[in-house]
């Protein structure tokens, strides 16, 4: 997720103009808790769900011209929005931006995916067509674009290993394409600049027997279901693993499973997950994160770095 500097709020005439740019994709005064997997966050002035790169370009141009701040999000699975919400326009790159095409050549598949393509759909296509090496994405509730930006994955593989090329729109609406070698993927990070909108990703994967794809995805999903609280409102792993360490293990060894602030609680199943027990506020989650970091640092001298992105205004 990325954002532009603060500016004026969205006015009725701005909404009318944005509706012309993005018909059927503009909603005012949306509670961000309805758009994030942690289920917290105040209101956004306006949500804009573009259906094409051209709509994104025109929306960026309008917001920049009028001084309206704009923020980009995917599925909201790695996002904490503060209780005061988000001023300006939130561009949600989701189902309306989920085109997928592919071609097979010499035992490999080249996949062209728009950034809003859900990872679940990518995995369904992998199962249907025998695309290998994607099982590490099983159980990650995000989009292709979000997964690339944060280089999502597990201990053994991450999204950057599949990426061949990306395309984004910058703050002036210019389309840029970059190869994977230009991005410098690292643990939970990519070289995709702040303040751009990722629109397209080119991936490559091997073609393998379909039953092997099914087996690998099933095994990965079964493991995650046993070790992670996937059915609960959360943002996935809340902290990055320090070099050579496990954030979950450090939190567990500090005796912090079950630690709570308000309705936010450190999961008993996986210590690197914070769960919303029903009506937690973003402040509960953020205060609990701060408390966990402090207690782990007091015990180990290691300050855990958040894996989630925190945006918006205090309530």
Question: How many Å apart are CA 281 and CA 6, to the nearest integer?
Answer: 24
What size, in residues, is the chain? 315
E runs forming strands in the chain: 2-3, 26-31, 43-48, 70-73, 79-81, 86-92, 100-105, 108-114, 163-169, 175-179, 197-206, 260-261, 264-266, 274-276, 309-311
pLDDT of residue 95: 94
Whether 5 has a pLDDT exceeding 90, the answer reads: no
Place of tokens 């758009």: 35
Whether 3 has a pLDDT exceeding 80, the answer reads: no
Quickly state the pLDDT bin for 9 (edges 50, 70, 90): confident
Q: Taking all residues of the chain, what is their mean pLDDT, rounded to a whole number?
A: 95
Share of the chain above pLDDT 90, in %: 92
pLDDT of residue 6: 55
pLDDT of residue 155: 77
Share of the chain above pLDDT 70, in %: 98
Q: What is the pLDDT of residues 14-60, one digit of tens each?
A: 999 999 999 999 999 999 999 999 999 999 999 999 999 999 999 99
Could you tell me if 274 and 234 are in contact, meaning their C-beta atoms sit under 8 angstroms apart?
A: yes
Which of 75, 200, 237, 281 is an active site residue? 237
Q: What is the mean pLDDT of residues 238-257?
A: 97
Place of tokens 């029903």: 278
pLDDT of residue 7: 60
Of 79, 74, 126, the residue nearest 95 (C-alpha): 74
Question: How many Å apart are CA 227 and CA 38, to the nearest integer?
Answer: 18
Is 174 annotated as catalytic? no
Pick one of 3.90.1860.10, 3.40.50.720, 3.90.78.10, 3.40.630.30 as the CATH number of 247-311. 3.90.78.10
Question: How many Å apart are CA 112 and CA 227, to the nearest integer?
Answer: 32
Domain ranges across the chain: 2-96, 98-227, 247-311
pTM score over 0.85: yes
Is 188 annotated as catalytic? yes
Q: What is the pLDDT of residues 119-161, one digit of tens each?
A: 999 999 999 999 999 999 999 999 999 999 999 988 788 999 9
Is 307 annotated as catalytic? yes
Quickly state the pLDDT bin for 170 (edges 50, 70, 90): very high
Rg (CA), the chain: 20
CATH class of 2-96: alpha beta
Could you tell me if 71 and 6 are in contact, meaning their C-beta atoms sit under 8 angstroms apart?
A: no
Domain 98-227, second-level architecture? 2-Layer Sandwich (3.30)
Q: What is the pLDDT of residues 191-215, one digit of tens each?
A: 899 889 999 999 999 999 999 999 9
Which of 27, 96, 188, 260 is an active site residue? 188
* Helix ranges restricted to H, the chain: 12-21, 53-66, 119-129, 144-149, 210-227, 247-253, 282-300
Could you tell me if 138 and 213 are in contact, meaning their C-beta atoms sit under 8 angstroms apart?
A: no
């Amino acid at each position: 997720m990325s954002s532009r500097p603060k500016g004026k709020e969205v006015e009725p005439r701005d909404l009318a103009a944005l509706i012309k740019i993005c018909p059927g994709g503009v909603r005012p005064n949306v509670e961000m808790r309805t758009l994030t997997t942690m289920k917290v966050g105040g209101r956004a002035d306006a949500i804009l769900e573009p259906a094409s790169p051209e709509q994104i370009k025109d929306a960026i141009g309008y917001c920049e011209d009028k001084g309206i701040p704009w923020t980009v999000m995917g599925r909201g699975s790695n996002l904490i929005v503060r209780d005061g919400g988000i001023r300006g326009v939130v561009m949600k790159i989701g189902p309306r931006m989920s085109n997928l095409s592919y071609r097979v050549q010499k035992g490999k598949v080249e996949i062209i995916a728009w950034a809003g393509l859900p990872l679940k759909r990518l995995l369904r296509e992998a199962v249907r067509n025998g695309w290998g090496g994607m099982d590490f994405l099983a159980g990650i509730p995000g989009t292709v674009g979000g997964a690339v930006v944060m280089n999502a994955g597990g201990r053994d593989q991450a999204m950057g290993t599949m990426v061949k090329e990306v395309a984004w729109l910058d703050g002036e609406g210019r389309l840029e394409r970059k190869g994977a070698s230009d991005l410098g993927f690292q643990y939970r990070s990519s070289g995709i600049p702040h303040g751009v909108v990722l629109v397209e990703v080119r991936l490559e994967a091997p073609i393998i027997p379909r039953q092997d794809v099914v087996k690998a995805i099933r095994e990965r999903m079964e493991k995650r279901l046993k070790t992670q609280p996937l059915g609960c409102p959360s943002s996935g792993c809340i902290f990055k693993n320090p070099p050579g360490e496990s954030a979950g293990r450090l939190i567990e060894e500090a005796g912090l499973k079950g630690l709570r602030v308000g309705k936010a609680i450190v999961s008993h199943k996986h210590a690197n997950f914070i769960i919303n027990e029903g009506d937690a506020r973003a402040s509960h989650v953020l205060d609990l994160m701060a408390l966990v970091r402090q207690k782990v640092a007091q015990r180990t001298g290691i300050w855990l770095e958040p894996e989630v992105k925190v945006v918006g205004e205090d309530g």
